[in-house]
Structure 1
Amino acid sequence: MTYDPFDPAVMADPLPYYRVLRDQHPVHYLEKWDTYALSRFDDIWNVLEINDGTFVASEGTLPAATVLATHNDGPVPDPPLHPMPFHANFDTPIYDEVRRCTAAPFRPKNVTRLGERIRVLANERLDELLPKGRFDLTQDYGGIVAASIVCELVGLPTDLADDVLATVNAGSLAQPGSGVEVANARPGYLEYLTPVVQRARAEGPGGLPIVDNLLAYRLPDGSELSDTEAAVQLLGVFIGGTETVPKIVAHGLWELTSHPDQLAEVRSDLSANVAVAREEMIRYCAPAQWFARTLRRPFTLHDTTIRPGQRIISLLASANRDEREYDRPDEFVWNRPIPRLLAFGRGQHFCLGAHLARLEITTMVTEFLNRVPDFTVDTAAASRPPSSFQWGWNSLPVEV
């Protein structure tokens, strides 16, 4: 068995590899990258809840192949404070403190207030798209709605949603044989975010809390964030909020229309059933494949001891298809029991936008099914580019 997340065959379809890993190699060593791949739900669930400094993201939660190619001789320290990278690269307290600066809009009560705005945006898109008879479910519908919400959260005009969506999508593309080079795409992201920070600094507190909090934050040495450093801390909102939800919405609707009996059951009571189907859509359709951690302390799993400086990659997409956790995991079952879910991660790095993502998915699916009595996916034109990370349906043309 050979598994490499950057292998072209794996990037084209990782699911068969995950099945072999789960059954035969639950802790699989990737010698080239000095990294261990964890593939079973229980193992990943238990590892991600450990928050005692054993696992850190000093090399990034999604390190590129160029980073993994360097083998560490021991524990990797936190990066230098300046220029400050994305805060997920730090351990506590910096990670926790900066995360709190950006967390307010994503708390349940604040997310609930966005419900009507999401519904309005979804219907505005449908008003424009439905008369055309054919459009892209990922890009034209879910993508623009999600990107519009992100624009409003970070202080950008919603007429930039199309450009923001294209920028984020481009940043996640990867050539077979190499990983996603997020750093290469950051200048494009920062062209939007840095002016937001500069304007907030010039105008003073009161305009945009998520940015005000970052400008008021002081690092342990007493220094403040520069405009660019503060903008970098917004990347999780900017990228995560734009990219994943549209792919889940589009793929989830495709699964429903591929199972007419399930679609009929969901349609029988949209207000009650879409929220149930949403959880299966997240489990089955979430495009994120894995996240990485670097060890600072020895850790033993399945009689394998991983040394400080070595890495693990948690194959969340494999965990979502683990037969030990879910019955018939390779089938879409809209109302299956899902007592535990790993698509949003777990522990210290649990997805900041999980509440918003659930609300967006529920709203966009509900409004679409409310207004579209019949639809067909053009499967021949659907596009799922190879990727080491975001293996999702970038384009899903639909006829209504």
Structure 2
Amino acid sequence: MDLHYSPFDFGVQQDPYPVYARLREQAPVHRNEADDFWALSRHADVAAALRDSARFSSRNGLRLEPAFWGPDAERFFSFVAMDPPRHTRLRSLVARAFTHQRVRSLEPRLREIARAHLAPLLEAGGGDLMEFAARYPTDVISELVGVPEADRDLVRELGSAIMYRPETAAAHDLPPEALAAIGALVGYYTELTIARSGSRRDDLLSDLIDASSGGDRLGPEEIVGVLILLVGAGIETSMLLLGNALHAVSARPSQRKRALAGEVEPWIEETLRFDPPSQALARTTNGEVELHGVTIPADARVLLLTGAANRDPAVFPDADVFDLDRDTSGSLAFGIGRHHCLGAHLGRLEARVALTELTAAVADYELDLEAARRIHSSNDRGFLSLPITFTTR
């Protein structure tokens, strides 16, 4: 059977891991002519490319869809779609505002938000887990940024529109509704930034406005770019992680029992390795790259398959087995090197709070996988809908 891989193939999106295994074994440098990209799937190659911004540039963005790819990618991905020295400058300024202390201070409020959104599900004995999984991180980001309570329904609706992938949409297209929602969110955050410039509060947006280094400051467009980045990096991935975590242990009774007994942190880390919400990151070659006897030309699109790397048996023995006792230190779920996810600490905190609150109330659960629906995305993996029934404590 010919080996073909496309991140736009709905069948691959349903279960990419068998294809990843074949890529690692048979074609660690895979060429897709139709979609015009190369794919790296082995852990050593993906990790090396993530560390090597001199040869593997982020200048065209992280996703291959035409709406996201190209020299204007930074409009969607901010400093993540930049190389040094621009990346170094902007990330450094954002890091001055987006501190561990700022994130840790949110934990009590995160618990309140999680409990409020969990309550209807628990009272009903179940429902669609992804309704909670979408609303919770959206409100967390609004809390972090400083979105007024009166505007949070609007931000939640726009965030949902950006994340929604209708099954009728062409695989390579971003739905018009998503593009319109991005434009509306840019407009909203621009107005909020202008308003906050004249009236600071104790929130991330105020800190971004005030962040400086040697007199250098973030401009209004740069600040809005960071806020848009948070929608994908801080909302969609957190939403998908929660669904993937419940799904990962649902058919593994011993692992599920331990997870529900409170082993939340290893549950999160092994889910990030075993079935991460972000499956791939795109790069552009700055020159020819020789790898495994194959020459990747200059200016080529290269897809770094972090989801495949996290199942590489060279790094993770019995990689297709979900194991709460596993050493996950080699996981590439949050990237590595200069582009290591700046919000990793927030993502972990969101998941820890949500799953801790859930396991405190739930003794067991059952998923209706026949009724479940997955998102359609070239680089993200998870559920759009995941019906669940709870047995409460």
TM-score (norm 1): 0.85
CA distance 1:208–1:277, shift in 2 (3 Å): closer
Per the alignment, do residues 249 and 79 of structure 1 end up closer, same or farther by CA in structure 2, a change over 3 Å counting? closer
Aligned partners of 2:153 and 2:311: how far apart in 1?
Answer: 33
Equivalent residue letter for 1:14: P
Contact 1:84 1:229 in 2 (8 A): no
Residues 248, 281 of structure 1: 8 Å contact kept: yes
Cα deviation for residue 323 of structure 1 reads: 2.2
Partner Cα separation in structure 2 for residue 294 and residue 333 of structure 1: 35
Q: Work out whether residues 55 and 287 of structure 2, in 8 Å CA contact, stay in contact via their aligned partners in 1.
A: yes
What is the correspondence of 1:354-393 to structure 2 with a 5 Å cutoff? 354-393=344-383
SS in 2 for 1:192: helix
Pairing of 1:186-225 with structure 2 (within 5 A): 186-203=182-199, 208-211=203-206, 213-214=208-209, 225=219
Q: Structure 1 stretches of 5 or more lacking a match?
A: 71-77
Aligned counterpart, 2:311: 321
Seen in structure 2, the aligned counterparts of structure 1 residues 178 and 394 have a Cα distance that, compared at 3 Å, is same
d(CA) in 2 for partners of 1:301, 1:289: 21
- Give the Å deviation of 1:243: 0.8
SS at match of 2:272: helix
Q: 1:229 to 1:309 in 2, by over 3 A?
A: same
Asked if the contact 1:105/1:153 (under 8 Å) is kept, the reply is no
1:42 alignment partner in structure 2: 44
Q: Corresponding residue for 2:62?
A: 61
1:178 to 151, 172, 185: 172
Matches within 5 A, 1:238-253: 238-253=231-246
Q: Cα distance, 1:292 vs. partner?
A: 0.8
TM-aligned CA distance change 1:163 to 1:325, over 3 Å: farther
Contact 1:289 1:315 in 2 (8 A): yes
* SS of residue paired to 1:292: strand
1:234 maps to 2:235: no
| 1:338-393 per-position Cα deviation (integer Å, ceiling 9, x unaligned) | 13111111112211110111111112111101111232222222110332122211
Distance 1:45 1:223, change over 3 A: closer
| Residue 259 (1) aligns with residue 252 (2) | yes
SS of alignment partner, residue 394 of structure 1: strand
Q: CA RMSD in A?
A: 3.1
Q: Is the 8 A contact 2:90 2:218 kept in 1?
A: no
Question: What is the identity, as a one-letter code, of the residue corresponding to 2:228?
Answer: L
Q: Is 2:302 aligned against 1:312?
A: yes
Aligned to 2:141: 150
Determine whether 1:164 maps to 2:155. Answer: yes
The answer to whether structure 1 residue 127 and structure 2 residue 128 are counterparts is no
Task: Provide the secondary structure at the position in 2 that maps to 1:37.
Answer: strand
Tell me the distance in 1 between the aligned counterparts of 2:149 and 2:271: 27
The equivalent of 1:21 in structure 2 is 23
The verdict on how the C-alpha distance between 1:67 and 1:256 changes in structure 2, with shifts beyond 3 A counting, is closer
1:209-240 deviations in Å (ceiling 9; x for gaps): 5455357779x9x9973x45531232122221
Report what 1:107 is aligned to: 99
My pick for the range that moved more, 370-379 or 57-66, is 57-66
| Alpha-carbon distance in structure 2 between the residues aligned to 1:165 and 1:121 | 14
TM-score, scaled to structure 2? 0.86
**Aligned-partner residue type, residue 51 of structure 2:** E
In the aligned structure 1, how far is the partner of 2:31 from the partner of 2:244? 32
Q: Structure 1's 143 and 158: CA in aligned 2 closer, same or farther, altered over 3 A?
A: farther
Q: Do the aligned residues in 1 keep the contact of 2:76 with 2:228 (CA within 8 Å)?
A: no
Aligned to 1:73: none
Do 1:119 and 1:363's aligned partners in 2 also have CA atoms closer than 8 Å?
yes
Following the alignment from structure 2 to structure 1, what is the Cα–Cα distance between the partners of residues 358 and 334?
24
The CA deviation string for residues 77-106 of structure 1, in whole angstroms up to 9 with x for no partner, is x7699x898333322122222223333454
Residue by residue over 1:99-141, the C-alpha shift from the partner in whole angstroms, topping out at 9 and shown as x without a partner, is: 233334543333222222222222222333311222221222x
- CA shift, 1:12, in A, is 3.9
Count of residue correspondences: 383
Contact persistence 1:344–1:350 (CA under 8 A): yes
AA aligned to 1:193 is Y
- CA–CA distance in 2 between the matches of 1:160 and 1:135? 26
> Higher strand fraction: Structure 1 or Structure 2?
2
Q: CA deviation at 1:183?
A: 5.5
Preserved contact between residue 146 and residue 205 of structure 2 (Cα < 8 Å): no
Letter in 2 for 1:28: H
Aligned to 1:75: none
Structure 2 runs not aligned, ≥5 long: none
CA distance in 2, matches of 1:95, 1:304: 30
C-alpha distance in structure 1 between counterparts of 2:172 and 2:366, whole Å: 34
Listed one character per residue, the Cα deviations across residues 36-88 of structure 1 (whole Å, up to 9, x for unaligned) are 1001111101111124x2222221111314777x9xxxxxxx7699x898333
- The aligned amino acid for 1:113 is S
Question: Is the contact made by 2:365 and 2:388 (CA closer than 8 Å) also made in structure 1?
Answer: yes
**Gap change, CA 1:223 and 1:341, over 3 Å in 2:** closer
1:74 maps to what in 2?
A: none
Of 99, 103, 108 in structure 2, the residue corresponding to residue 116 of structure 1 is 108
